[in-house]
Structure 1
Amino acid sequence: MTIDNAFTEVAAVADAVLFEGYLLYPYRASAQKNRIRWQWGVLAPRGYGEQSGEVWSSRTECLLEPRGDDARVHLRVRFLQLQQRTVLDALGREVEELKLAGTRHLSWEEGLPRHVDAVLPVAELLAGATVPIRVPGSWTGEDLAHPDGTPGGRLLRTCWPLVGTVTLHAEDLPGPYGVLRLRVEVHNDAGCPSGSSRAEALRTSLIGTHSLLAVEPGSFLSLTDPPQWAAPYAAACESLHTWPVLAGPAERSDLLLSAPIILADHPQLAPESTVELFDGTENDELLTLRTLALTDAEKAEARATDPRAAAIVDAVEALPPEILERLHGAIRSMDPVSAGSRFGADSPMALPRTVPWWDPGADASVDPETDTVLVGDVPVAKGSSVVLRPGRGCDAQDAFLAGMRATVQAVVHDVDGTVHVAVSLDDDPAADLQTTHGRFRYFRPEELEVTG
């Protein structure tokens, strides 16, 4: 397996991570939201980070199960290198914008994909290994001319050199399982003059930094849903500024993606998404329709802003009706109800077809207002006071709520027959507003503790 082949099945998701937030709708340089860019996975120069508190290194810890003495780890660290595009007029002066023959040229910061690869024997990682990051700077110029051929200006594109280090270390864990804790740290070792601004520091930053790992032969263990025997090992893993998850198709366990954003195991792009909109958490249909609604002048500015923005506008305008139709909603959260399925007609969990399960008011057997559930030995219902104790494998956002007090607002049942407890946070100043709109946080009964 070559290193390129190793990551083929995770390439699309990795690209979505790399360009997350690169440029936001309406994809124009003048848009306020695009005035402050480069927010995800930025590893600033070490010198600037030590002065300002900005992150300059990241750490990924994961569980690795190699098979055999010849097992190898494939590593790819990916990031963007900032490229400054500067517009000069015919006199060589820097300007924000230049218009020639109806074409606009704007000063802007582009991002160039870069990566560092390594293939390392697992046996070597037990002693520790270092992979250097060395990306040279560059400078290019492009002459601009009027329609009659006379000089009209010039575009300068400048990249600054990037310097960093990737360190890897594997550690044998106690017990009979043969599992290793693998640590991967990415450091930006560039210096930065005292008093530098963030804009200056970004020139030598690693932007959108994330790591891809593949083991051959072997597997990685899920950190969000580990086997029971591995739960203590998973709990001891500490990642900083990254979120490692199993990657690739669900049947694979030899791939891992460590991203600066929270993802679930085996993240995939929706098959309906055909255009890279630089926001993997947004609604493709909404962004597509809004982009189509831009005026001709706004589209022209977007195209002048960045080649990738131009590609978005062109791709959206070229979408055929059948692709637009595909964007209009898809349900993937429910199993099909059919004979022999998990909740088919013969299953004791199957609901009568006459009962709309999404509407508790239509089913007299449930009532969120009065239903109770046992928390320990204590029945809990609407109005009960509880303390939140999110369990292993919980949503990452719920983990921040551990120990907080809450009030039960409803006890609800889902289509699978699972009981959930809807709560509002006692210390949330917007709790009344959220309750009015029926917006709650949901926990399993075992994730709650009854207060006195």
Structure 2
Amino acid sequence: MTEDPVRRIADAVLYEGYVLWPYRRSALKNQRRWTFGGVHPRAHSERHPDDRWLQRTECLVEQDRPPDIDVRVRFLHVVRRDVARDDGGGRLVDVDELTVAGRRHLAWDEAAEREIGAPGAVSIAAGVEEEPLLDEDGTRAGALIRRWEGLTGSVGVDVAPVGDGLWRVTVAVANTTPFAGCDREAALRRTFCSTHAVLRTRTGRFVSLTDPPPALAGVAATCRNEGVWPVLIGDDRTVLSSPIILEDHPRIAPESPGDLFDGGEIDQLLILSILGLTDAEKAEMRDSDPRAAEILARCEALEPEQLMRLHGMVRPA
């Protein structure tokens, strides 16, 4: 099955900054996460205006009749992974780390992918899942306990004429999750993280806001985008409203062996740095997060010719 290039770019945006070099829990930069595309609880945002509660996308579509727009909003939902030890009497006691059957387990924040069709409501119930950790003899030694907070909000879509055969599409993502606390980390557990939207039209054509045609530059300048910037992706029938700066028609280099969650760095440098980690550092990387463990396994499996391709390529203009 052919991979969807739009989905691949959107996934790269979704996980940008999820965990950064050196991909270990103990690294300072991995102790302050979820820095891109946050749509925070409104009550928190009203006390901390830099943390927006509303994300707004406006873009233009050329079509002789009201366009039919498919909108998908995606974000990450923080999932707290706690580690608990069985005290021998069947009671679970929270610990920071636990080694069971030769494998170390660390407390950490993971994330669940969420996708909302628009227009629509965001309504995700709080939940908890328990994964038992068993010794070699099958005895429960502890458990991983994953918890997530409930989320509420809305995704609105509006299409309005702004000229002959020209329409403005507005997508508004709002987080109305109740929150009475003051702690930012607690607010982040109720935040739509890495929020972005993918807009598609089957019959119309989106207008580039980065480089609009001269005749449409004035109207394009009136589009109001808050917390995102819409770019054409794939073709002019698809827009990615991205929380990080991208150019129109972004691409992932075919030489890239996989996502490293850090689009601002060079794959070759990151991969060589990962391969140069000590055994202890690799162990912490592996134990911190399943996605970090996947990165490590992928890097260690690269063949020499794959590494050589990362040095650079010359492509025709």
Answer whether TM exceeds 0.5 for this pair: yes
What's the offset of the Cα at 1:66?
2.7
Deviation at 1:146, TM superposition (A): 2.5
**TM-score, structure 2 length as denominator?**
0.94
2:208 matched to which residue of 1? 222
Per-residue deviation, 1:67: 4.6
Conserved 8 A contact 1:48-1:191: no
What corresponds to 1:179 in structure 2?
A: 166
Match of 1:134 among 78, 100, 123: 123
CA distance in 2, matches of 1:271, 1:8: 13
Shift of 1:33: 1.1
What CA distance in whole angstroms lies between the structure 2 residues aligned with 1:64 and 1:134? 30
Equivalences for 1:243-254 in 2 at 5 Å?
243-248=229-234, 252-254=235-237
| Structure 2 residue aligned with 1:301 | 284
Give the drift of 1:8: 3.2
Residues 145-203 of structure 1 deviation map (CA, whole Å, 9 limit, x = unaligned): 332333311110111121111112122114xx31011111110110101x431111111
Displacement of 1:290 in angstroms is 0.5
Contact 2:64 2:166 survives alignment (8 Å): no
Aligned to 2:238: 255
2:147 corresponding residue in structure 1: 158
Whole-Å Cα distance in 2 between the matches of residues 132 and 296 of structure 1? 47
Q: Rg bigger for which structure?
A: 1
Structure 2 CA distance for aligned equivalents of residues 183 and 72 of structure 1:
13
Q: For 2:44 and 2:65, how far apart are their aligned partners in 1?
A: 43
Q: In structure 2, which of residues 281, 300, 303 is the aligned counterpart of residue 317 of structure 1?
A: 300
In 1: Cα distance, 2:29 partner to 2:307 partner:
26
1:48 matched to which residue of 2?
Answer: 44
For structure 2, which runs of at least 5 residues remain unmatched after alignment? none
Secondary structure of the equivalent of 2:284? helix
How far 1:274 moved relative to its partner? Answer: 1.4
Q: 1:206, 1:188 → 2: CA distance?
A: 7
SS at 1:230 equivalent: helix
Q: Output the amino acid matched with 1:76.
A: R
1:426 corresponding residue in structure 2:
none
Question: How many residues are paired up?
Answer: 311
Matched, 1:202 2:188: yes
- Which among 79, 83, 86 is matched to residue 79 of structure 2? 83
Other structure's SS at 1:285 match: helix
SS of structure 1 residue aligned to 2:236: coil
Tell me how far 1:325 sits from its aligned partner: 0.9
Aligned to 1:326: 309
CA contact (8 A) 2:54 2:175 kept: yes
One-letter amino acid of the structure 1 residue matched with residue 188 of structure 2: L
Deviation at 1:284, TM superposition (A): 0.1
Paired residue type of 2:268: E
One-letter identity of the residue aligned with 1:80: L
What amino acid maps onto 2:297 in structure 1? D
TM-score by length of 1: 0.66
Distance 1:66 1:299 in 2: 53
Match of 2:248 among 252, 265, 272: 265
Partner Cα separation in structure 1 for residue 73 and residue 173 of structure 2? 8
Residue 68 of structure 1, CA deviation: 4.3
Q: For residues 212 and 258 of structure 1, what CA distance do their matches in structure 2 show?
A: 6
* 1: CA distance, partners of 2:38 / 2:314: 34
Contact kept? 1:66, 1:216, Cα under 8 Å: no
Which residues of 2 match residues 25-64 of structure 1 at below 5 A? 25-53=21-49, 54-64=51-61
User: What are the Cα deviations for residues 381-438 of structure 1, in whole angstroms up to 9, with x where unaligned?
Assistant: xxxxxxxxxxxxxxxxxxxxxxxxxxxxxxxxxxxxxxxxxxxxxxxxxxxxxxxxxx
* Alignment match, 1:379: none
Cα distance 1:269–1:67, how it changes in 2: closer, same or farther (>3 A)? farther
Q: In 2, distance between residues paired with 1:210 and 1:66?
A: 24
CA-based RMSD: 1.7
Shift of 1:117: 1.6
Amino acid at match of 1:66: Q
Amino acid at match of 1:300: A
Equivalent residues of 2:55, 2:227 under 8 A apart: yes
Deviates more, 1:11-20 or 1:109-118: 109-118
Structure 1 or 2: more strand by fraction? 2
Contact 2:82 2:94 in 1 (8 A): yes
Name the CA distance, whole Å, in 2 between partners of 1:298 and 1:23: 15
8 Å Cα contact 1:134-1:164 kept in structure 2: yes
Q: Which residue identity lines up with residue 75 of structure 2 in the other structure?
A: F
List 4+ stretches of structure 1 deviating above 4 A. none
What percentage of residue pairs aligned between the two structures are identical?
45
User: Aligned-pair distance for 1:77?
Assistant: 0.2
